Amino acid sequence: METIAIGIDIGGMLDAVLGLTACLVDAAGGADSVAGIGVGTPGFVDEKGIVTGRAVNLPGWEGTRLGESIARRFGRCATVTNDANAMTLAEARFGAGRGVRNLVCYTLGTGIGGGIVAKGKLYTGSNGMAGEFGHVSIDPEGVKCACGQMGCVERYASARGIVRSARELCAAENVEETPFVRMVRSSGEAATSRQVYDFVNAGDPVARRVNDVVCDRLARAVGITINMLAPDLVVLGGGVMMAGPVIVDSVRNHLPRYTLPELLAGCSVVAAQLGEEAGVIGAGALVFEEVLRFDA
């Protein structure tokens, strides 16, 4: 969805979404061949299918009557949910969580989002806002978050949080000057989490320490999720997971300190399987779920 948004004002963005949907409906053989239209969007979606706050990268998108607009335009039912919920549903139905009854999914991207499947069904909470794992505080004395809270895990383990953690560690006076440290110091704000993980995977000792700090903090939030929800599975997905198995491995290593042993024994932590397609697959799968639905 964010790709579509580039350079489009928000009034035009709904039109763009409707236009793209029209192309897809045509490609499927027309509206009569379509069971329904599922949509994942940044932000929350209330019970009227209206986007509410938190679509931070799409200012103005808030208030869009997404469900109703699509249902009316195409004469087909429309289902709408948060994009992280859509990813979670995709992993639950077709990805890492196939056949699993209770699972949670962390989406590690620019920020951190998440979703919950409880008793085999997507659980979205009041006004579609459940699964805000990025804003689980893992340190009440920690870094201030834009949301107003302190120590949100998003500040440490999202793509931006990883870069911040790297810069912090590399700014320390007593750190050895590895190639990674030189890269981070010279790149400044332009460094990316992908660069950090290239060095982690190449074995740079300081980069590995950054990964350790990041995954320790991520494990605190994951541990709290496990203690609260006793899921069978935690799926870690999102762009940051392109780094490969090192993140899942490190989170697993740290988890025993942050979880009740009985709960950890019943819960696996794995990487997502569907990559960047997960959101689209999940949005499509929504149509066949018991969720918020807008009839044409």
Exactly one of 10, 94, 127, 212 binds a copy of itself (CB under 8 A); that residue is: 127
| Smallest gap from residue 229 Cβ to a copy of itself (A) | 5
Amino acid at 42: P
**Does residue 82 belong to the site contacting a copy of itself (CB under 8 A)?**
no
Exactly one of 69, 195, 225, 250 binds a copy of itself (CB under 8 A); that residue is: 225
Place of tokens 């009227």: 48
Exactly one of 74, 133, 180, 199 binds a copy of itself (CB under 8 A); that residue is: 133
Separation in Å, CA 286 to CA 9, 34, 69, 167: 27, 13, 17, 40
Q: Are 52 and 43 in contact (CB under 8 A)?
A: yes
Exactly one of 29, 99, 140, 188 binds a copy of itself (CB under 8 A); that residue is: 140
Separation in Å, CA 80 to CA 56, 133, 271: 18, 20, 25
**Does residue 227 belong to the site contacting a copy of itself (CB under 8 A)?**
yes
**Does residue 139 belong to the site contacting a copy of itself (CB under 8 A)?**
yes
Exactly one of 229, 246, 280, 296 binds a copy of itself (CB under 8 A); that residue is: 229
Cα distance between residue 11 and residue 259, in whole Å: 46
**Does residue 59 belong to the site contacting a copy of itself (CB under 8 A)?**
no
Q: Which stretch binds a copy of itself (CB under 8 A): 147-155, 186-194, 197-205, 235-243?
A: 147-155
Q: CA torsion sign, 93 to 99 to 101 to 104?
A: negative
| Smallest gap from residue 288 Cβ to a copy of itself (A) | 17
**Does residue 231 belong to the site contacting a copy of itself (CB under 8 A)?**
yes
Longest CA span, the chain: 67
Interface residues for a copy of itself in 241-280 (CB under 8 A)?
256-263, 266-267
**Does residue 44 belong to the site contacting a copy of itself (CB under 8 A)?**
yes
- How many other CB atoms are found less than 10 A from the CB of residue 84? 30
State the number of CA atoms in the 13 A half-sphere of 120 facing the CB.
4
What stretch of H or E contains 235?
strand 233-237
**Does residue 121 belong to the site contacting a copy of itself (CB under 8 A)?**
yes
Q: Which is nearer to a copy of itself, 119 or 189 (CB)?
A: 119
Sequence-ordered list of residues with C-beta below 8 angstroms from that of 65, at least 6 positions apart, any chain: 48, 49, 50
Exactly one of 5, 37, 38, 54 binds a copy of itself (CB under 8 A); that residue is: 54
Exactly one of 38, 49, 111, 223 binds a copy of itself (CB under 8 A); that residue is: 223
**Does residue 105 belong to the site contacting a copy of itself (CB under 8 A)?**
no
| Smallest gap from residue 62 Cβ to a copy of itself (A) | 10
Separation in Å, CA 2 to CA 7, 40, 41, 43, 288: 10, 11, 9, 12, 25
- How many other CB atoms are found less than 10 A from the CB of residue 277? 12
Burial class (CB in 10 A: 0-12, 13-18, 19+), 80: buried
Q: Which stretch binds a copy of itself (CB under 8 A): 16-24, 125-133, 161-169, 190-198?
A: 125-133
Q: Which stretch binds a copy of itself (CB under 8 A): 16-24, 113-121, 160-168, 187-195?
A: 113-121
Rule CB under 8 A: which residues touch a copy of itself?
44, 52-54, 101-102, 116, 118-119, 121, 123-133, 135-140, 147-150, 220, 223-225, 227-232, 256-263, 266-267
